[in-house]
Structure 1
Amino acid sequence: MTGYGARHVIIVGGGASGVLLAYQLLHQPSCRLRVTLIEQRPDIGRGIAYHTGNPDHLLNVRVANMSALPDQPDHFWRWLVSREVDVPLCPDPYCFVPRRIYGDYIASLLEQRTTDAQALSIVHGTCIEISEGPAEVAVMLSDGRRLNGDFVVLATGHDTRAPHRGHADPWAPPSAVPIDADAAVLILGTGLTMIDYVLSLLRDGHRGPIVAMSRRGLLAKPHRRVDAVKIEEAEIPFGASVVRLLHWLRGRIDTHVAHGGDWRSVIDGLRPYTQRLWRELPPRSKRRFLEHARAWWDVHRHRMAPEVEARIIEALYAGKVTMMAAKATRIEPNDAGAEITYRRRGDTRVHSMQVGAVVDCTGIVKDPRATANPAVRSLFDQGLARVDPLSIGIETDGNCAVVDRDGIPSRRLFAVGPLTRAAFWEIIAIPDIRNQCSGLATLLSRSALEPQLERKPRAPALSC
């Protein structure tokens, strides 16, 4: 597999990240690549984020910024207006459309390629093991099939945990449990996933109280029709401590607001530099950010659509939803759901409540090795991957290569999308993932031209 023949890239995960990478690989001008896309769901392009059929689940990014192609920023908008039936949903590029429609868009990227068996193969199944040899890599599926290739790229999206007893899956509709319509529901976490689940409960006619609990009890901010300001690279304090960085950012926002601007414009203007900021942040500052500043950053950076804001504010004022700054100290499952012991923020007293279900929407897994993803577990078991120093995911280098237990980046195993958050942090939204996939596709196409892959020096880090 190390000659000059067409190289074979196996992508594990056929959600948005996997499809974006497959598209870029199939459109590389320098060489011809064979691509196999493995997806366990019936449809490609949807994954966890875009498989929802709930029309209340809107994109959290405006249409204007959701093109799948870095060199065609209006690609999604043009696709959307070409579908006459959906035009009323989006009168201009500054609107927010249902995520299920965006799933249709992502899937459409490969529709013209599905009949080209020589270039693209779509395999439906669950990858349970990945192995790496000196001349090839192999993936094993749960049905016993084995696929060999030159490169494997993990594109499995957001990591998930198997729900505990008394817990509901945050990515499944409430009817899947099902949850008693009159029972109390506790949602752990108050971010955008919580908002989605609240909208699902309300759409299903839930009548019982809904309590959203997090350490600070912060609610995501809404989008507004403002444009990003131009921030010069030279004025950003790269490599500074998180304290100094936040002091600079607050000062920049205060100045902009004092001149009649909106704080969102500054946060959005910083976006082109956030990955570099994360990479150059001192290790101690990264930990401090995760412990003390992440919640503040998340609610300002990852915002909700104005239509969603209206629904959530209405539910809060009506008493259907309660936001609580507190920490659950014990969750004891019982026949009626679970009994919760908790302490409110700033209060030493212990309280308790009975709920019909608990929904964990806290996001990042506490122990990456406890992942429910068998493919990732197999890498840990073989020493082909290791947990990053912050314990927020697998470790990858600047080229998205998976780092093994000895600290050596692989020449054949890569990862894209949310799996690489330890290296890039801001890598959960399409605008970031599309650039990452474009860069990795270029890197792999260049590697495919090398007759002796394992002996060549590594290329410079790609720009994600």
Structure 2
Amino acid sequence: MNAPAWQHAIIIGGGASGVLLAYQLLKNPASDLSVTLIERRPEIGRGVAYHTGNPEHLLNVRVGNMSALPDEPEHFWRWLCTRPDGPMCPDPYCFVPRRIYGDYLAGLIESLTSNGGAARLAVVQGECVSVQEGPAGVAVTLDDGRQFTGDFAICATGHDAAAVNFHCHVDPWTSLSAVGVDRLATVLILGSGLTMADYVLSLLRSGHQGQIVVLSRRGLLAKGHRRVDSLRIEEREVPFGASITVLLRWFRQRAEAHIASGGDWRSVIDGLRPFTQRLWLQLPDASKRRFLEHARAWWDVHRHRMAPEVEHRLGEAIAARRVVVIPGKLSAITPKERGALVRFRRRGCTELSELQVGAIVDCTGLVKDPATSSNPAIRSLLEQGFARVDPLHIGIEIGTDCAIVARNGSSSRRLFAIGPLTRAAFWEIIAIPDIRNQCAELAARLIERSGQTGKGRDGQTSNLRDRAV
């Protein structure tokens, strides 16, 4: 009997999104798909979020909500409890180091290869620089010239770090000691979100003695989690399709009523989570623009919260004046012999303030506009017309089935995208609870499609080595 000839899916990006999709495609033994997983880093499942080795960098979501599998909500908690060193916390309401979650994701791939799935999975280290679609399939080229062909290609490139070239810039994932910054120097951090909190903890842990100044447009800090349950919100209560003004008014009233009855606003936000993607899809375009310009910052600090331990540590540093948070806008950077002279305008002021700093760390968030992406795979898709930026410039345009929309407006049958790259269509698609559902749904569609097209084009045996050119 001939061995099965599988159809071939190429996943570009081996971070959390790529691993979750690969697992969903391969866990079903009846699937007709093989997978090539391409990742430029030496480790799978880490990406930007989970490669950190600092034990103080905690998950921003409680353990109980971080299962990789939508149909097994306690999967991650059970995995933690079976670790050789025992559970790291007493119950699923805890927050564990992000590097531990990276171990968990890497273990998903290891479980596939150890259970006879190695023949259907190839993990390739390299950077994808070109993606092409043709009538017969897709071709993916790496920076070293290797080329892989397949039936589908899925962009799971995750967050795209901004390309910054200003003077004395330090990458937020690089320690100051590694670039020779004096431990007594003042450090300026641009942005006051969750990445800033991580970097402050890294500075404090490394023994940095200089002052840490945080500059952001509004000076808002992410709120902390509390041990509260989600509020049950009925679908019929939610004003789908309403303008952003009506929607926000309804939301505030719902939160105020819950607080008045002794509840916590966090419960209302978490209760709305099952409906946020549908709300975004049905929100008028003008309302989407208004939300992004005027309300997004407040939504983010309430929706994307930090672990209580991180909130406490950061609060202590602010109270001790080790960290100073300034609402304002950067105006100019003048290079000096050691560091730079920074000029900025405080919010509500007309005159400029000055600050001598030894390093500037850009934590303003990751690239939102794919048109400015530094990722060569994304640039390749845009330049060739296989993809286009959405009208809001926050992601590439895709259909509700995750198919990438070309420059001419047609939806691809072979090119797909998942994770943060699809935020224009789904908005809430940067956290594991949302991405896992997206990956499971796309995997089901691809498996069904591969079954409809049969066991290969010529009915002959194929293997992954035949797919590399």
Distance 1:360 1:284 in 2: 30
Contact 1:190–1:218 (Cα < 8 Å) also in 2:
yes
C-alpha deviation, 1:329, in angstroms: 2.1
C-alpha deviation, 1:58, in angstroms: 0.3
Indicate the SS of the match to 2:119: coil
Identify the match of residue 263 of structure 2 among 257, 261, 264: 261
Indicate the SS of the match to 1:353: strand
Residue by residue over 1:130-179, the C-alpha shift from the partner in whole angstroms, topping out at 9 and shown as x without a partner, is: 11111110111111110000001111110112331321111333333343
* Aligned positions of 1:101-116 closer than 5 A: 101-114=100-113, 116=117
Distance 1:368 1:154 in 2: 13
* Aligned positions of 1:281-300 closer than 5 A: 281-300=283-302
* Aligned positions of 1:227-376 closer than 5 A: 227-365=229-367, 367-376=369-378
Cross-structure match for 1:396 = 398
Contact 1:136–1:150 (Cα < 8 Å) also in 2:
yes
Q: 2:31 is aligned with what amino acid?
A: C
Indicate the SS of the match to 1:67: coil
Cross-structure match for 1:461 = none
Indicate the SS of the match to 1:179: coil
Matched, 1:222 2:224: yes
| Bigger mean CA offset, 41-50 vs 402-411 | 402-411
User: How many residues align structurally?
Assistant: 449
C-alpha deviation, 1:301, in angstroms: 0.4
Q: 1:94 is aligned with what amino acid?
A: Y
Contact 1:217–1:324 (Cα < 8 Å) also in 2:
yes
Distance 2:247 2:338 in 1: 47
Cross-structure match for 2:99 = 100
Indicate the SS of the match to 2:181: coil
Contact 1:28–1:442 (Cα < 8 Å) also in 2:
no
Distance 2:190 2:165 in 1: 13
Distance 1:170 1:283 in 2: 33
C-alpha deviation, 1:255, in angstroms: 0.3
CA distance change for structure 1 residues 366 and 91 in 2, over 3 Å: closer, same or farther?
closer
Residue by residue over 1:82-115, the C-alpha shift from the partner in whole angstroms, topping out at 9 and shown as x without a partner, is: 014142x211110000000010001101113235
Q: 1:122 is aligned with what amino acid?
A: V
Cross-structure match for 2:13 = 13
Distance 2:368 2:42 in 1: 30
Cross-structure match for 1:186 = 188
Q: 1:124 is aligned with what amino acid?
A: Q
Contact 2:368–2:395 (Cα < 8 Å) also in 1:
no
Distance 2:293 2:333 in 1: 22
* Aligned positions of 1:56-135 closer than 5 A: 56-87=56-87, 89-114=88-113, 116-135=117-136
Contact 1:174–1:200 (Cα < 8 Å) also in 2:
no
Distance 1:178 1:74 in 2: 44
CA distance change for structure 1 residues 333 and 232 in 2, over 3 Å: closer, same or farther?
farther
Cross-structure match for 2:40 = 40
TM-score, length-normalised on structure 2? 0.93
Indicate the SS of the match to 1:206: coil
Contact 1:367–1:392 (Cα < 8 Å) also in 2:
yes
Cross-structure match for 1:54 = 54
Distance 1:366 1:94 in 2: 31
Indicate the SS of the match to 1:130: strand
Structure 2 unaligned residues grouped into runs of 5+: 456-469
Contact 1:50–1:99 (Cα < 8 Å) also in 2:
yes
Cross-structure match for 1:160 = 161
C-alpha deviation, 1:335, in angstroms: 3.9
Distance 1:103 1:451 in 2: 35
C-alpha deviation, 1:30, in angstroms: 5.1
Distance 1:215 1:384 in 2: 35
Contact 1:396–1:420 (Cα < 8 Å) also in 2:
yes
Q: CA RMSD in A?
A: 1.6
Residue by residue over 1:408-462, the C-alpha shift from the partner in whole angstroms, topping out at 9 and shown as x without a partner, is: 1211111111111111111111000000000000111111123399xxxxxxxxx
Cross-structure match for 1:141 = 142
Contact 2:418–2:438 (Cα < 8 Å) also in 1:
yes
CA distance change for structure 1 residues 263 and 149 in 2, over 3 Å: closer, same or farther?
same
Contact 2:21–2:443 (Cα < 8 Å) also in 1:
yes
C-alpha deviation, 1:66, in angstroms: 0.4
Indicate the SS of the match to 2:101: helix
Contact 1:371–1:377 (Cα < 8 Å) also in 2:
yes
Cross-structure match for 2:444 = 442
Contact 1:316–1:322 (Cα < 8 Å) also in 2:
yes
Q: 1:46 is aligned with what amino acid?
A: R
Identity of aligned residues (%): 65
Distance 2:390 2:454 in 1: 29
| Bigger mean CA offset, 417-426 vs 335-344 | 335-344
| Bigger mean CA offset, 303-312 vs 339-348 | 339-348
Cross-structure match for 2:384 = 382
Cross-structure match for 2:213 = 211
Structure 1 unaligned residues grouped into runs of 5+: 454-464
CA distance change for structure 1 residues 31 and 69 in 2, over 3 Å: closer, same or farther?
same
TM-score, length-normalised on structure 1? 0.94
Distance 1:126 1:53 in 2: 23
Distance 1:30 1:282 in 2: 42
C-alpha deviation, 1:29, in angstroms: 5.9
Cross-structure match for 1:412 = 414
Distance 1:312 1:413 in 2: 42
